[in-house]
A and B are shown apart, each in its own frame.
Chain A
Amino acid sequence: MNIIPGDGMRKCYFDYVATNPLHPEVLNTMMPYFKEEFGNPLSIYEPGQRAKKAIEEAREQVASMINARPSTIIFTSSGAEANSFALKGMAIAKQNQGNHVIVSRVEHHSILSSARFLEKSGFVVTYLPVDKYGFVDPEAVKDSITKETIVISIIHASSEIGTIEPIKEIAIVAQERNITMHTDAVATTGNIPIDVKDLGVDLLSMAAHQFYGPKGAGALYVKRGVRIVPLICGGIQEGGRRAGTENVPAIVGMGKAAEIAKSGMSRRIEHCKKLRDKIIEGVLKIPNVHLTGHHGNRLPHHASFVVEFIEGEAMLLMLSMKGIYSASGSACTSKALKSSPVLLSIGIPTALAQGSIVFSLGMSNTEEEVDYFLEEFPRIINRLREMSPFMKKKEGGSKCYTGG
Chain B
Amino acid sequence: MKFVDDIKADVTADIVYMMCPMHILKLDEMVKGLENGQVLNILTDYDGALEDIPQWCERTGNEFIGMKETENFYEFYVRKT
Interface residues of A (CB under 8 A from B): 89, 93, 96, 225, 227-230, 233-236, 239-241, 243
User: What would be 23 A-B contacts, judged by CB atoms less than 8 Å apart?
Assistant: A89-B17, A93-B17, A96-B71, A227-B14, A228-B17, A230-B17, A230-B18, A230-B19, A233-B19, A234-B19, A236-B18, A236-B19, A236-B21, A236-B22, A236-B25, A239-B22, A240-B15, A240-B18, A240-B19, A240-B20, A241-B17, A241-B18, A241-B19
**B70 interfacial contact with A, CB 8 Å:** no
Extra pairs beyond A230-B18, A240-B20, A241-B19 (7, CB < 8 Å): A93-B17, A96-B72, A228-B17, A234-B19, A235-B19, A236-B22, A240-B18
Within 8 A of A (CB), among B1-28: 14-22, 25
Contacts of A96 in B (CB 8 A): 71-72
Q: Is the CB of A227 within 8 A of B72?
A: no
Contacts of B17 in A (CB 8 A): 89, 93, 227-230, 241
Q: Which of B14, B18, B19, B22: most chain A Cβ within 10 A?
A: B19
Q: Is the CB of A243 within 8 A of B16?
A: no
Shortest 4 CB-CB distances between A and B: which pairs? A240-B18, A240-B22, A240-B19, A227-B16
Contacts of A240 in B (CB 8 A): 15, 18-20, 22
Contacts of A233 in B (CB 8 A): 19
Cα–Cα, bound, A235→B24 (Å): 13
Q: Which of A225, A230, A236: most chain B Cβ within 10 A?
A: A236
Q: Which of B15, B17, B20: most chain A Cβ within 10 A?
A: B17
